Amino acid sequence: MPRPIVAIPADIRQFDGTTWHAVQTQYVKAAIKAAEVVPLLVPALEDGIDPDVILDRVDGLLVSGSATNVHPSLYGAEVRESDGPFDPARDATSLPLIRRAIDRGIPLLAICRGIQELNVALGGTLATEIHEQPGIEDHRKPQHPDRDVAYAIRQDVIIAEGSCIARYLGAGRVPVNSLHRQAISKAAPRLQVEALADDGTIEAVSVIDAKGFAVGVQWHPEYWAETDAPSRALFEAFGDAVRDFAARRSPS
């Protein structure tokens, strides 16, 4: 059986005097090397696309992190430019894909911005600039020129007993690289909280009524997916779910 295909929604970027549809290489490499799937980049279109046209042709959905944030209007919050930058085209592409992937039982792994999109897509809300809130640690990515230092594993999350992620990573404390300014505030009704940081920040969720693998994490398993055991285990679980889905839908 050929390697299954996984869709990755792109971001909009402006450089070299024009508009680009872009996905960071670290997500593409993790999909190929750790999940052992073929990534397909989906252009971000502000008018949106028919998600079923894409999902008819792929076996999984990987929703990546990004330097941009989900637009506050999508979860009923005040719009402040300081909470940007925003990417309306990414929102218009990712959120419908997430909803339809869950409805159709297509495996879903949502990372960083992705977990926030997952929460908003299902009716949850986000908290912005969480490092300014009392009792919340500074989860922002360090400003360091060496990306290995910026993405270093430096924080524990506490994975709940009996959770979906515990099947792959085990329950209890797991060291991760969680880097973000925003986080889930009110979890969507269809989401189960799977892991927390020591300060109570929601670090992982799963979709309660999902027909298949549907997990979101606030940290960045893609960055160390080739060398860190928990990071690789999460991508391998996603890849296994994608292959199972592809085998079930195959005419043969």
Determine which one of 117, 139, 222, 226 is catalytic.
Answer: 222
| Measured distance between the N- and C-terminal CA atoms of the chain, rounded to whole angstroms | 10
Residue carrying structure tokens 């990004």: 66
| Active-site residue (options: 21, 139, 220, 236) | 220
Q: Is 222 among the residues known to form the active site? A: yes
Q: How far is CA 224 from CA 50, 169, 233, in A?
A: 33, 15, 11
> 112, 139, 164, 203: which one is catalytic?
112
DSSP the chain: -PPPEEEEEPEEEEETTEEEEE--HHHHHHHHHTS--EEEEEP--TT---HHHHHTT-SEEEE---SSB--GGGGT----GGG--B-HHHHHHHHHHHHHHHHHT--EEEETHHHHHHHHHTT--EESSGGGSTT----SPP--S-HHHHT---EEEEEPTT-TTHHHH-SEEEEE-B--S-EESSPPTTEEEEEEETT--EEEEEETT-SS-EEEESB-TTTTTTT-HHHHHHHHHHHHHHHHHHHHH---
Q: Does 220 participate in catalysis according to the annotation?
A: yes
Tokens encoding 184: 């889930």
Where in the sequence numbering do the catalytic residues fall? 112, 220, 222
